[in-house]
Amino acid sequence: MMTVVGLIGRIAAGKSTVARAFASQGAEVIDADQIAHEVLAGPDVVQEVARRYGPETVDAEGRVRRPVLAGAVFGPSAAHDKALVDLEAIVHPRVRQRIEDRLATIAAAPGGAGKVVVLDVPLLVQAGWDGRCDSLVLVECAEEERQRRLDGRGWPEIQRAARERAWQRGYKPPGPEKTLVVDASGDPAYTLSQVDRIVRSLSGK
């Protein structure tokens, strides 16, 4: 039976690092950020974004200008919060359908029944994906290190605070019976060893 694992954790906790560690252990990783990039490139979505957020959010070649769009949806006001909810309504259903299609394809492929599939989905719990997962992996990181990583992303402070708020909105800690923990604070080799143990456990090895 295919096992679906969802990654959860705060921004810059190390979820992408943990996802790569899972991939190195043979797991199939579905990256929702990558899928969202593909969705935002679709002509129908570009048109919706331009209608909702203004023509300045699309460049001369018909591509969404992501930094401009981020400025429109991540900010301190209620209008920013509404703009983010509207963007999620445009993008999330399309991303969800692509993820479901990918899961079905993996399950139907030879050997798919024994696969570990990892969902690397921002705001996984908040978007309701936890119910689709057999297990959750909570990626933890020392707060000082997490803040250092956030510093390296170069986001304006207003956007940074808004992204943190977006994560907190609607988050409910999952029950311990379904949740495994990986500490991604430091040495990548240590992170990999934790993931290796999880994959072996999920695979019955």
> 43-53 vs 78-108: helix axis angle to the nearest 10?
170
pLDDT of residue 64: 97
Question: What is the distance between the alpha carbons of residues 128 and 130, in angstroms, rounded to a whole number?
Answer: 6
User: 3-42: per-residue pLDDT in tens?
Assistant: 999 999 999 999 999 999 999 999 999 999 999 999 999 9
Q: CA end-to-end span of the chain, whole Å? A: 14
| Pair of tokens at residue 37 | 């990039």
Domains of the chain and CATH, by start: 3-203 (3.40.50.300)
3-class DSSP state of 90: helix
Residue 18 CB neighbour total at 10 angstroms: 27
The C-alpha atoms of residue 141 and residue 138 are separated, in whole angstroms, by 10
How do residues 184-196 score in pLDDT, each as one tens digit? 998 889 999 999 9
- The percentage of the chain sitting over the pLDDT mark of 90, rounded to a whole number, equals 77
Question: Contact at 8 Å (CB) between 111 and 105?
Answer: no
